[in-house]
Every structure is written in structure tokens, then in C-alpha cells.
Structure 1
């Protein structure tokens, strides 16, 4: 296919948006739509290669796959290998193990599925995933694998003209499917091929049904496309359901630019866009790890500009010394295709990643000092968490910790789940055990429900679970103490890890748009009522809120040892803790007065008069910023003795 300067310039428009969005989303709130523009370009080019080959009766699927491998794999595999080498020196075992997993899935072109199962693209935690951006490469590769197989199969039964119509109809149906699943299944819609395929297929439509446009009208079509793309970059944001029907605008914009075919355009053919377009794939590959470095090591905003400049420089170097290496793509015998060198680069990266995974991120003296090992041990979480924190037919699996007589039942959200293993250890000292009724993100409120702010889906599972547990406690465990542990202020006040604010998403009887006094009064009232419902059949103990330190304690300590050669101690002013927890304390005090609940206070073990501390003598108390680890639970464990001695 003849080189198209307009398409090369369109790549530049796409990569600039993605880079600016990732380094500072406020600059271009919808810059992530640049990926959608890339998808259209890929679909156009791939459809051209496949249909031209079929029309000339010389299309080879194996040759097509090898050509794609030669184009995509070398730079990707080398990026993964370099990150795995650097990770040995700079990452915690948890993060290094995650990098190994992500590197392996990236070179296997399955990372979109991995990230779909892990997190939302826009979650704060995504900024610690070094290869998150490879999800789009996995989607493209999956399309490259399936698309030619389908077209070659169709070619055996129907004409080229009929195949063109199939592509057109499939594109329309794919868009309708995308809109539906975005609002029903938002995370899957973002990451997975079925809801993204139409974006690449509309690029195919641009190839199969080229517009016949007079020269004097081409500029108008191009500028309309550019306006649609740029409008999307600035008028949509991460709060927009995506891809959904809003994705139609940047996709249509890319479609128009391709149809205009203006190779002499000042927009797409200027020298800057020519270079950025040529380097766009490598710029895309290398920019995201630089974004993560700034976030991971808490560098100041000045590094954003350095990161952008380095993205372009590394993109240029990667393009010149990796992308432009010519690998053989045409072999005489099928077995000769095993000589495809990029496959071995992918194999090296994948095996290296697997070794990192199988060695648990090398959490041993092989890689870490004794001080670092102490810190990283604080990151370990309850191995039973994944099973015990799920719902089975809408009910808790009721895992037991400790041994012997049931001394208490622990109910609450992830803060309860973080403490449950240590509480079980303490119960065992009294020849007893505890039952885990915790569920992450489920504050103990009868009838509470959440509303997904993007899809407006309502989830009643938490409130229904609490209602069931009130009944179960009275029927099956009458008289057994209930220990209620929640991150109450998360709902009442919001997050404290960053400066962003979000509207409430948990309600009982009325939906509120903001966390105002009326909202807090509503939640507090229902919290107290729920506690009192439990007290009708069981003694109830309320744990004072655990300090939320805003900074991941063990990671911060570990990173400071690497970068500053000294251990950073994380702490929170006690006054800040008292201010944030004021309403939560009042709620608990109300429950004490109204129905006789009792207070368990861990704060004397975690805070002094000035600060709440994240570690004791260099040993972390938390496994992140607000969940106590096993050692932290051990430190506060004497507060539970009152429960176990009296029952």
C-alpha cells in the first residue's frame, strides 16, 4: 500500500493526545480517545492488506501474522525486558511480581484480559501498572488474528463485493453492541475486543468504500474530521462512559480524515507531525513507563515536562534502532516460519516474566537487604482473602480463623477483612475462633445500595447481605459477640488519599448528589439503627476507625531506602485524624447511648498526642495506606481481649 502522509499525521494527532492525557489529564481530558483513532488506522491498513491480497489471490495468513509480529513485537519485547531488569533494582516484590505477570501477558497479547480482571483503566492504582498501555496492543493483535481468518473463510463462499457488505454490516452491529455493553458491563467494554472491533472495522469500511470527493471539498471533510477528534479530546473525560456512543465522534473523525486523503495538508503533513507520526508506536510504548516513574517515586510536576521530552527521544531511538530493523517475513516452508526472530524476543520476555512470577518477585536475600525484607513482609495480605471476601449465593462463606469455640463474629468492610487473620490469632490464645463476615466496600448498613456513577447500575448486594447477617446472628449465633469494623469516613467524608472529590455512591432511602450534612445524617442514622438491630440478640463491639495515612506505608518506606538510602517514616497528624473521624465517632457514641454497644479503641497503640504512625521501629503496621497488616493487628490485639475474656 502506498505511503499515506495523512494517515501518518493522524498517528501524530493520536499519540500527542494520549501522551498529554497520561502525563496530565487536565491538559486534554479526553486524550485517551487517541487510542480509538489508532484503532481506526489499524483497521484501514489491515483491511487494505487482506483484501488486496485476496483480490490478487496471493494472500498468506502466515505471512500476514509474521509481518505483524515483525512490526509490533521487537520494541514491545525489548521494553518488557528492560523494565524487568530495572524492576530487579527498584521494585518491591509485590510490584515486581505484578510486572512479571504483566510482561508475560503483554508479549502473549493477552494483557487486555489481565487488566480487565484487575482494575479499571482510570483507577488510581493503574498508575502503578508499568505496562497498562499494552492493553490496546493486545486488542489489535487479537483483531489481527481473527479478522483475516474470518475473511479468508468468507472468501471461499462469497464474492469480494458481498464480503465488503459483510464488513459494513458487522461494523454497524459492532457499534450497537459496543453501546449496549458499555452501559451494562463498562470495564469489559473498555478492555475487550468484542466492544472495540467496530472501531477497527470502520477503518476497513474507509478502505472498502472510499469517498469520491472533489479536491475543493477534501479540505472541508478533513477539517470536519479533525474537529470531531479534537472536540472529543477536550469535551469528553474519564467520567464519560467509554467507549459507548461517545466513541463514535473520534472514530468518525479519523474516518473522515482518511477519506479526505489530503497528503499535502498543513495539519497532517507538517514536518513535526511527520516525525511524530513515524515515531508514534515507539513513543506510545515508552511514554507510559515514564508516567509511572513520576507517580511511583512521587516526583514533582516539573518531571512531567522531562517525561514528555524523554518520551519523544526514546520514541525516536526505538524507531531508528529497533523498529527499522528488517526481519524476514516470507518463508518458503511452513516450518521455516519458526525462524521468525521477533517470536524469540517475545519468548525471552515471557520466560523472564514467568521466572519473576514463580519466585514471588524474588522476595528473598537474593535481591533484598534484611531491612528491605522487614518492610516488604509488611505488604503480605491474608492468603484466604480472595475466597473469604466473596459472596456465595448472596451470603458470606463464613470463614473461621483460630480454633475452638466461636468467640466472636467480625463484620464490616475491607478494614474488617484486613484485621480478621490477626483477630483469629488473638482468639486462639483464648482457645477460641472468630467468624469472618466481612465484605470489601460493604459498610455495615442494613439496606444500603450503591449506584455506579458511569452506568447508573444499582447494586443491592451489600445491604441485602447485612440484612441476612442480622437474621443469621440472631438465629444461629445468639449471644455471640459481634465486632463491627468499617472505614466509615470513606462514605461520610470521601477519600483522603488525594485531593480529588467524588459524589457519594452509597445510599439507603434517598439519593444525594453531594456529601452534605443531610447525606451524612441519613447514613449515620441508618448505621446506628443497624448496630442496634444486632444488639437485640448479640453483644456488639465497635472498633474506633483505623487511621488512614494517605500514603502507602511499606511502599513508601521501601522506595525511600532505594532512592534516598534512608527509611521514610509515614505519619499523619493526630489532629487531622480527629477532624476526619469526628462524625464517625459521634455515630459510634450514639449507638453506645441508644442500644448499649461497646467501644474498642486501638488509637493509643497507633497514635501519640501528635501523630498516628505507619510503623514501629521500622516495621510497617499497614500493608497499604489505611489497612493494618498482620503485625499492625498484633499491636492492637489487646483491645479484643475484652471480647474474648467476657464471652
Structure 2
């Protein structure tokens, strides 16, 4: 196939968007769409390659798969191996075990399924998984596995002229299914290959369009072709600027970069292609970056993730520049030292290492086995805890501590799950409302009311199943319709009038923008039930890295309260923009800092219970023991805060 340098230029655009996004360049918060651009390019190139070989009578499935293996696996295995060694030196056992599992997934092209099973792309912990980026390679490799057979089947059934129409139909139908399913399970739509087929199909149908009468006429007009390229690049750029972590993705938003990539490919490859933008894509710097784009994509994220894991920092410009320099060096070494040794593209010299197909397949299979054995051992072997012989908290202890946090809430009355009937008979009903910190508020209050049959604590159910929350026209909207409906129920008389008190325990920054949906929910409750009393929990602290890591590295939980290890400490909550609006609806404010920390200084805050249980194992969610300890301390000042809010005496006094 003839080398098209402008396609390498488009690869350069795609990889630059992804790298700058992962470096935290603020304006490019949607740079993750570079992956979508790669998918469209892959669909275009692979379909052209297959059909060209079919026309020449040289296509075979075995040959196709072996060429894909030569192209993809040597650099991928080298990256996984190097990252595994670096991770073994840096990651603690608790994080190294799931990393080893992801390494296995990457080597056998299922890492997208592994990461979907673990968590969503936007989870806080996901951003520090060193092989997270290989999800897209899993999608692409699964596409390569199925696409040739599907293409040949369609070609034989319908003929080449109708194949383009079939691909157009697949693009439209696939996009519609993806948009629909994003509202059902956005993580599945993001990670799993069936929901990305429409992007590959969008690229695949382009050669057929250019072969139609309309396509030939448009492709021969320089003005039209240049406008298509300009519009495509503008759509890609707009995607990187307009989309962010709060965008429901892929969904409708994915159409923007997909259409942009398709238009850019049309404008770059049509017969009348030319002009300044086309020349820029063919520039030697752009084509070089495109040629090393696969290697750069492979190495860039492990560099960022491991550095941030070790330092716990948000990158500043000097760090970003240093990391870019390191990425480019590693990408060049991987490209020249591994990628070009086994595979050559059109326009490049032949590969330096020439092995027969059979020997090459045998070598690759052997390498996968050799690399898989230590990864499997680390995954099943407690993350190689022997690397840290003096650690105070084993991986099992950390996991047990995190799970113990839900010991009481699993059996609690839960409005979201419809298991709240058991609490209906209690004379005083308290709704505990919040996100993942709802559990902290519940454990806090349970320490006070555990043996009081007159007070029922009812969970809202958290927002972990809601996806992204937003407020539109004073209404809470969730990523998933069922959660939106659950928030709407809070303003109905049947729910609002059932409760006498609502306790808001939301976010590690209780008065930041992320807490706005809960403020809106409280207002809706108060409007439907003016007699409702509101208790609002303040925040505590958030560490840069998990507290369990700091304990293992220093031997003391005190490290979790040192200012240099903190990402946030609620020194003065009144400075947060939602503090005053929350206080306007709050009847009792639980200021954890004032309660626990002398002079409101972090180093004077307890970071464990009196019997040594850490305040938190991750960065900010309280352990069950510490939440209960905080509740017991609060009860020394307010022995019966719920009845105090309602103007009632405690059972012991009445």
C-alpha cells in the first residue's frame, strides 16, 4: 500500500491530544478523544489494506493476523515488561497485585475488559493505573480479530459496490446503539469494543465514498477537499477544548471527534488534497511524530502514572516539560530499538530482524508465557509483599479495613435499594444523604444511635451508581436516568414528609462544586417539608497519596496529617463558595476540624483511633472505627443531636 504521510500527520494530532491531556494541560481536558481519532484511522487503513490484498489475490487471515502481531505485540510486550519492573520498584503490594492483573490483560488483548470490571475510566484511582491506556489497544486488537471475517462476509454476500452502504449502515446503527447504551452503562460503552465499532466503520467506509460518483466529484474539487480537512481538524480541536471529565462519554459527544476524524481523512486523502493544512500534516516533524505515535502512546502513560503515584503531585509546568522529554526519548528508543526491528510500514526500510512467520509466532508466544508467569505470581501472591518487609499494613489488612467500612451500611435501611421498610416504625426518621462519604456520616451517627430504637437511620444510597452529577435549572441530573429519578423523589411529599432530619455527608470537600447536587436536594426536601431539620457534616482532610501507603513508608499514621502530604485540609470552610448557601439551610453543623484538631492545624489532628485503627486507608474516606470515634467525640458535646434538632429531650431525660 502506498505511503500517505498526511495520515502520519493525523496520527501526530491524535497522539499529541492524548499526551497533553494526560499531562494535565488544562485547556485540553477533552484530549482523550485522540483515541477516537486513532480508531477512525485504523478502520480506514485496515479496510484499505484488506481489500487491496483481496483484489490482488494475496489476502489470507493467517497472514493478516501475523502482520498485526508483528506490528503491535513486540513494542507492547517491551512496554509491559519495562513497566512491570518499574512498578515492582514503586507500587505497594496493595496496588501491585491489580497492576499485575492488568499486565496479564494487556498481553492477551483484554485489558479493556479488565479495567471495565475494575472501575470506570474517571475513578480517582484509575488515573494512577500504569497500564490503563492499554484499554484502547485491547479494543483495537479485538477489532482486528473480528473485522476481516466480517468484511469478507459482507463483500461476498453483497459485492464490493454495496459494501460501502453496509459499512455506512453499520456506522449509523453502531453509533445509535452506543449513544443509547451510554445512558445505561457509560463505562461499558467506553471500554468495550462493540460500542466502538461505529468509529472503525466510519473510517472503513471512506474509501467507498470516494469511489462513488458523488465522492469522485467532491474529491476532485480542491475547495471542497480543503474545507473538509479544515472542518475535520476544527472538530477534533473543538472536542479537546469542549469535552472534559464531566461529559457523558462516549454518547452523543463521541460523534464530534468521530466526524472530525472522518472529515480530516477525507480532506487529507482525496485526489484534490492540498493547501496549507495538508502541507502541515505532511511536514517532516508531523510525519516523524506520526511514525513514533504508537511507541509514544505506549510509553507516555506509564511515565505519568508512576511519577504521580510516587510523588502524589498534580503536575506543574517544569514537571510536564521534564516528563515530555523523557517520553520522547523512550518513544524513540522503543520505536527504533523494537518496533522497526520487527515491522516496517510503507515508506520505511524493511525490518531488521527477519524471522519466518512460524518462528516469529513461536517467539512471541514464548515471550508472553515468560512475562505472564511473574505477573500471575504477583497477582496471586499478595502483590509481592516481601518487597516491603517492614510494612505495617498488608494488602489483606488494607482491603479488610476498606471493606469493614461498609459493615453496618450493608444491613442498613436504604431508600435507593427499597430496603427502608424495616425502619418505617421508628418515631424519628433520619435520612443520611451524600455521595461515597454518605457511609462516613452513617457510621458517625450509628455510634450515637446504635442502641436507640426510637431513631432510624435511612441511607439515601450514595451516588456511586449515578455516574456524573450535574445541576440543570435547579434540578439534579445524573448520568443514569434511574439516579435522576431517585433525586427527584426527594422532593415528593411521600418521601420528604417521612423524615424529620436529613444529615448531609457529601464529598471530601463538603462545600465545593461537587456538593451542589446535595444542596439542591436539601432545598427540595425543605420545600416539600418545611419542618425538616438539617445536619451538615464538614470535611476533614485528603492526602496526596493513600494514607495506608504513608503508614507503610513511614511507620506511623502521623504522616497522613503532615501538611506536605495533604492535598486538602478544611482550614477555613467559609472560603468555599457553597459554605454560605449550605449554612442557610443547616440547623446543626458538624465541624470535624473544630471537634478534633487543636488550633485547626493538620499536624494536631488524630489520624487514628485510640486503639490504632487508621483514620482512613485511602486518601479521604474514613474507616468505620474512626467515623465511630468521631461520632463518640461529638456525642460528648451533643449527647442526642437528633432530638436536640427537633427540640425534644433525650430518652433518658423525658
- TM-score, normalising length: structure 2: 0.73
Q: What secondary structure, in the 3-state scheme, does the structure 1 residue paired with 2:21 have?
A: helix
Matched, 1:486 2:508: no
* Paired position in structure 2 for 1:243: 254
- CA distance 1:415–1:74, change in 2 (3 Å): same
- CA distance 1:399–1:526, change in 2 (3 Å): closer
- CA distance 1:18–1:487, change in 2 (3 Å): closer
Question: Could you tell me how far apart the structure 2 residues matched to 1:616 and 1:196 are?
Answer: 45
> Is the CA contact (8 Å cut-off) linking 1:388 and 1:396 kept in structure 2?
no
Structure 1 residue 214, shift from structure 2 partner = 9.6
- CA distance 1:66–1:367, change in 2 (3 Å): farther
Matched, 1:628 2:650: no
* Paired position in structure 2 for 1:370: 391
Matched, 1:78 2:103: no
Question: Could you tell me how far apart the structure 2 residues matched to 1:567 and 1:629 are?
Answer: 14
- Which string of whole-angstrom CA distances, capped at 9 and with x for unpartnered residues, describes residues 512-537 of structure 1? xxxxxxxxxxx5544557898788xx
Q: Please say which of residues 541-550 and 274-283 is displaced more in the overlay.
A: 541-550
Question: Could you tell me how far apart the structure 2 residues matched to 1:310 and 1:399 are?
Answer: 59
The equivalent position to 1:461 in structure 2, one of 486, 491, 496, is: 486
Q: Please say which of residues 43-52 and 156-165 is displaced more in the overlay.
A: 156-165
- CA distance 1:583–1:102, change in 2 (3 Å): same
The equivalent position to 2:379 in structure 1, one of 328, 351, 357, is: 357
Structure 1 residue 390, shift from structure 2 partner = 11
* Structure 1 gap ranges (5+): 475-480, 497-503, 509-522, 536-540, 593-598
Structure 1 residue 267, shift from structure 2 partner = 2.1
Q: Please say which of residues 111-120 and 128-137 is displaced more in the overlay.
A: 111-120
- Which string of whole-angstrom CA distances, capped at 9 and with x for unpartnered residues, describes residues 484-521 of structure 1? 4512896754249xxxxxxx44676xxxxxxxxxxxxx
Structure 1 residue 135, shift from structure 2 partner = 2.1
The equivalent position to 1:288 in structure 2, one of 294, 301, 310, is: 301
5 Å-filtered alignment, 1:85-100, equals: 85-100=85-100
> Is the CA contact (8 Å cut-off) linking 1:181 and 1:189 kept in structure 2?
yes
- CA distance 1:109–1:375, change in 2 (3 Å): closer
- CA distance 1:260–1:196, change in 2 (3 Å): farther
Q: What secondary structure, in the 3-state scheme, does the structure 1 residue paired with 2:253 have?
A: coil
> Is the CA contact (8 Å cut-off) linking 1:550 and 1:626 kept in structure 2?
yes
Structure 1 residue 348, shift from structure 2 partner = 4.4
> Is the CA contact (8 Å cut-off) linking 2:18 and 2:31 kept in structure 1?
yes
Structure 1 residue 547, shift from structure 2 partner = 1.9
> Is the CA contact (8 Å cut-off) linking 1:5 and 1:263 kept in structure 2?
no
> Is the CA contact (8 Å cut-off) linking 1:178 and 1:244 kept in structure 2?
no
- CA distance 1:96–1:582, change in 2 (3 Å): farther
The equivalent position to 2:234 in structure 1, one of 228, 231, 243, is: 231
5 Å-filtered alignment, 1:29-40, equals: 29-40=29-40
* Paired position in structure 2 for 1:557: 550
- CA distance 1:556–1:323, change in 2 (3 Å): same
* Paired position in structure 1 for 2:437: 415
* Paired position in structure 1 for 2:645: none
- CA distance 1:87–1:331, change in 2 (3 Å): closer
- TM-score, normalising length: structure 1: 0.74
Structure 1 residue 109, shift from structure 2 partner = 2.4
> Is the CA contact (8 Å cut-off) linking 1:409 and 1:435 kept in structure 2?
yes
Question: Could you tell me how far apart the structure 2 residues matched to 1:623 and 1:466 are?
Answer: 35
> Is the CA contact (8 Å cut-off) linking 2:17 and 2:34 kept in structure 1?
yes
> Is the CA contact (8 Å cut-off) linking 1:30 and 1:238 kept in structure 2?
yes
Question: Could you tell me how far apart the structure 1 residues matched to 2:508 and 2:529 are?
Answer: 16
- CA distance 1:330–1:433, change in 2 (3 Å): farther
Q: CA RMSD in A?
A: 4.9
- CA distance 1:283–1:179, change in 2 (3 Å): same
Question: Could you tell me how far apart the structure 2 residues matched to 1:70 and 1:615 are?
Answer: 56
> Is the CA contact (8 Å cut-off) linking 1:92 and 1:558 kept in structure 2?
no
Structure 1 residue 409, shift from structure 2 partner = 7.6
Structure 1 residue 175, shift from structure 2 partner = 4.0
Question: Could you tell me how far apart the structure 2 residues matched to 1:171 and 1:189 are?
Answer: 15
Q: What secondary structure, in the 3-state scheme, does the structure 2 residue paired with 1:459 have?
A: helix
Question: Could you tell me how far apart the structure 2 residues matched to 1:102 and 1:574 are?
Answer: 36
- Which string of whole-angstrom CA distances, capped at 9 and with x for unpartnered residues, describes residues 576-631 of structure 1? 14655565456442xx6xxxxxx877556532123245653797412344321134
Question: Could you tell me how far apart the structure 2 residues matched to 1:466 and 1:82 are?
Answer: 54
- Which string of whole-angstrom CA distances, capped at 9 and with x for unpartnered residues, describes residues 205-227 of structure 1? 23345458699957656643442
> Is the CA contact (8 Å cut-off) linking 1:179 and 1:244 kept in structure 2?
no
Question: Could you tell me how far apart the structure 1 residues matched to 2:378 and 2:88 are?
Answer: 9
Matched, 1:611 2:601: yes
- CA distance 1:354–1:530, change in 2 (3 Å): farther
Q: What secondary structure, in the 3-state scheme, does the structure 2 residue paired with 1:621 have?
A: coil
Question: Could you tell me how far apart the structure 2 residues matched to 1:628 and 1:134 are?
Answer: 32
Q: Please say which of residues 344-353 and 64-73 is displaced more in the overlay.
A: 344-353
In the alignment of these two chains, the number of paired residues is 592
Q: Please say which of residues 104-113 and 458-467 is displaced more in the overlay.
A: 458-467
Question: Could you tell me how far apart the structure 2 residues matched to 1:434 and 1:625 are?
Answer: 30
Structure 1 residue 165, shift from structure 2 partner = 3.8
* Paired position in structure 1 for 2:562: 569
* Structure 2 gap ranges (5+): 343-352, 467-473, 642-649
Question: Could you tell me how far apart the structure 1 residues matched to 2:263 and 2:378 are?
Answer: 43
